[in-house]
Structures are given as structure tokens and as C-alpha cells.
Structure 1
């Protein structure tokens, strides 16, 4: 686990990020429950056109992602305006995408789940999801690591689910720095 760019206090809104099959939803739900926060499933905010495109094996581009990520930012802003906390599962692959998400809350904290291609491909082959295994490499090619000024942590996602959750929870509670 490596962390960076700590907020002054534990963050109110967290994004569990990473490429497909890293376990964003599983980790995000568990993290939200542990923090007493609302869980937001990023995939639920995709317009049908995005889902159709990915289901056909076509990677999304920035024009596809912008409205989706801005809708998620709007949801985070809504929750913040209501005084609620949240954990959002969202790929957030590039710095630009994370910047769009930060429009909802500049203090967002990112938990980047990281695993090898082989582990992810194996997971993708064993699940039912609109994202086909053929898009894994395009996601890995798009992924930009968290930059030093971005609050967040990288968690080894090849561990057990409990270990991933423990690392993520410790980092969020501490507002960890890398």
C-alpha cells in the first residue's frame, strides 16, 4: 500500500478506482459500510450508449466519459450538500477524469486498486459484465497513476478481499500520505 497527498482530515468522499475487474464495487460497498457512507455505483450512471459501446468491445473515449463523470461529480456534490459521505466505484483512469470528478468535491480521496493483467483477465473470464475481456488492455493503456498532488492510496488488489478492505480503510481513516 502506498499513499500520497493527504487531506487535512479523513475525506468525506472516496472514489475506489482502477481498471475493470479490480473489485471496485466489492471494495467500495464494503468500504462504504465500514465508514457509514453511502455507496455510489459508477456504472449505474453510464448512459445506455456507453454500455452498448463497451458491450460491443469498443473502448470509450473522452467524449463518452465526460457526461458520465460529470453526472457522478453531480451526485457527489449532491451528497455533500446534504451533509452525507460517500464511496463511489468508478474507473477514474486518467488525471483529467479525476479532475472532472473533483468538480463534485475538491477533497476527493482515491483508493486505486491495482492488480496484474493476468489476475484481472482471469477475473473477467469468470464474471458476467458488460465489459468484455477484450477491453482490458485498452483500460490498462489509458490508466494514469495518481500524481503526487492527488490525495489517495494505491492498494495491492491481489490480496484477499479482507486485506484489500483493511488497507483501504486504514488509508482513508488516516488520510494517508505516500
Structure 2
């Protein structure tokens, strides 16, 4: 019996899909870097802020930090989006603050391989960036609470930490190189 049958494959198996979560505190450049990375890799991109329910956005707009209870359904929705992409054979890039390991554990529950890129920078630079942006619901007053909540990637977590001091295109080059993407 001939077992060497070639069939056309138009998508990867869900467990063969690799997703990238671009994480970090507000002002770290997640949106810019993730969009450039997704474009470079030719994959689907999603902005985690789009997954927040209106109540979360209202809290943050008012300068009130989210609680773990506020974040739980948001993180589950992002995880489910990643799983749906993997089930369709598509890798994805998504932004998500993913400040705590427990939050990243939820995201790691998605189908496929979930890797993290932690965009890290000095608080002064992050505050400067937040102060200069317009049209975003996250006020700069929430930066200290985000920095206090942040648990950097552990050595056993699948990902890399990259300085935000470089230009976005250079950051993407570093990510692609370190994670052996593309």
C-alpha cells in the first residue's frame, strides 16, 4: 500500500501555529510594533483594546485601574481569538499588556504556540510617550499602577524582552531574530 499520498494543504494544523503576544505597559509601543511585526510576517493582527468590554474602557478612561475580575473575561476573549485563528490554521499577532504571569498563563491556554515579546523601557520614556499621544482612553496617571503590577517574563516563559528605546522597525528586526520568526 502506498502511504506517500500528497494532498494540498491550505492551512496549518492548530498545534503547528505560532502566535506572538506583544506585551508591556501603556506607552511601550505595543500597537506600533505589533502592527509592523504582523505586516512583516504576513499574519493576522489584533489590538487587545478592541476586546475590552465598554465597562473596562469606562473605568480606565476615568483613571481607575482594572482589577483581576475586570481583566478575566478580556483575557479569555483574547485567548479565544488566538484559538480560533489557530483552528483556522492562521498564526496571529496580538497586543496585550499581559502584565502578570497569571494573565499570560490564560493566553498560553490558546491553541497553538503562544510566544511573548515584552516591550520594556524606563518609566520616564513611557510617561513621555503617553503624554504625547491623543485619542487613547488610557490616561498617563495609570502608568504607575501598571508598572507596579508588571511581572517581567520569567526565564521559563516562551518569549523575549526588547528595549523600547530603539526605532520600531529595529525592534521588529530584533524580535524576528530572537524568536526565529519568518
Q: TM-score by structure 1 length?
A: 0.89
Return the match for 1:117 from 123, 138, 159: 123
- Secondary structure class of the residue paired with 1:59: coil
Q: CA RMSD in A?
A: 1.5
**1:141 lines up with 2:148 in the alignment:** yes
Q: Which residue of 2 aligns with 1:49?
A: 55
Cα contact 2:17–2:90 (8 A) shared by 1: no
Return the match for 2:74 from 68, 74, 99: 68
Say which structure, 1 or 2, has more relative contact order (CA 8 Å, 6+ apart): 1
Q: Which residue of 2 aligns with 1:162?
A: 169
- Secondary structure class of the residue paired with 1:60: coil
Between Structure 1 and Structure 2, how many residues are aligned?
A: 166
Distance 1:11 1:117, change over 3 A: farther
- Secondary structure class of the residue paired with 1:148: coil
Q: Which residue of 1 aligns with 2:43?
A: 37
- Secondary structure class of the residue paired with 2:113: coil
| Alpha-carbon distance, 1:169 to partner | 1.7
Query: Between Structure 1 and Structure 2, whose CA radius of gyration is higher?
Result: 2
Unaligned runs of 5+ in 1: 1-9
Q: Which residue of 1 aligns with 2:95?
A: 89
Return the match for 2:158 from 146, 151, 154: 151
Unaligned runs of 5+ in 2: 1-15
Q: TM-score by structure 2 length?
A: 0.88
2: CA distance between counterparts of 1:19 and 1:37?
24
2: CA distance between counterparts of 1:121 and 1:11?
35
Q: Which moved more, 1:64-73 or 1:142-151?
A: 142-151
